[in-house]
Structure 1
């Protein structure tokens, strides 16, 4: 059985610079994992953990937690703009509509994804992550038009609505 002192001594066999150099050496492809571990006296599981980008130092300061995003930032921004444009045109969009749009976007751009191919829509976890990344989008359940709203929809509002529709359809 090892004591805390032994573990501490074992952990101090290599420095951060040696780890960076070992990662750089391994990524050149000239040496295998076992050889690099022997050269720099770094335990194999430790080096593998650093190589798999679980450690911040191995990933140049960017620690990645969880799954990667399906879309790039540009495509997510494009989807966000599309949703906001639909909102401006008074088009009621639901969670299902966004999930289906995300699936179609992956098909159009040939993006590898893990969405449901039978339902042809993104998952709920993806949707809630998307909404968390884009807080300026807020969805509400579309409701039928009330009598009070119909009465408030007089000639001026109708003209404004169709002017807006005409502007966006060009």
Structure 2
């Protein structure tokens, strides 16, 4: 124990981080704000880091104050320096009047102050979650039926058709209010009969695939703004997954900013625990839809039975979104997201191996293979991740014509 304490006392910093003078930093900030110097010149003249200087100047421009104290770590504080001083003065005053606060009362007071200073002041009626699901015109899931004990095979009457999948966009708030769904049909032209006996306010779109696209989601998002009555003075929070129609959509981001919609995307491979609709709504929807399809109750849609207030509220509660519960999950629940951080082997090694196999099978000329391998080496891509696999496959196009020609004369 004595050796450990001696080591701590004699510890020396290995970096020069934070060793600049606070007075020099103040003078450099003043020179930049007064437009007497640029960032680089002020940083060199007053011997301060340029990135730190830029951060403090931006803090004054946005917040009107500057804190030159070193941060305690990667986690930023909730209160500003001014707010912390106000809280300290209040504690001193209460103690002087013999009404000193305990640590539990201090935490409660700090929480009340944080809620009061909340930028968006979002309640459960301003927090929404949306998700897509596919519903087949012929139900795929079958409810359990009663049969004779000991029977190994139990049959049930079903449609002989394969059925078509219709995409349904569903949105619900933490208070339990449901937005009318949007249906995407796999067809070129829309027919009004397809919405017969649908839920009130249901909208529809058509495209060749029947899947969600960027344009269709923007159209739905504009309807969501009207439904939620979102504005810059009355912002709302929308939680969604990382689908390309959500994240790679510049028009969506612009419309959201103009109308006060704050969009937060779930981490990859975690929607089964964080998405309220996946947690509590999608399973009841499939069950009730199966019952409605079997009973042929076209006038009583399955979505109406599943869309009850308790289902939505329980979904947000189990995901820890509302009421907010950061201790709701353990690190093991998010291990699936780590797969996106795993690096694959160099793409050039993979392509060269594949070309050798193609040469052996189709007996392609060696000169052709060597030419392609040279192009691969010139465009070598070292260890890539799952999100970067599309571009290298362009090189394969050089050998595909030869393969297609051989397949035509040599069927497998």
* TM-score in terms of structure 2 length: 0.18
More strand by share: 2
Greater Cα radius of gyration, structure 1 or 2: 2
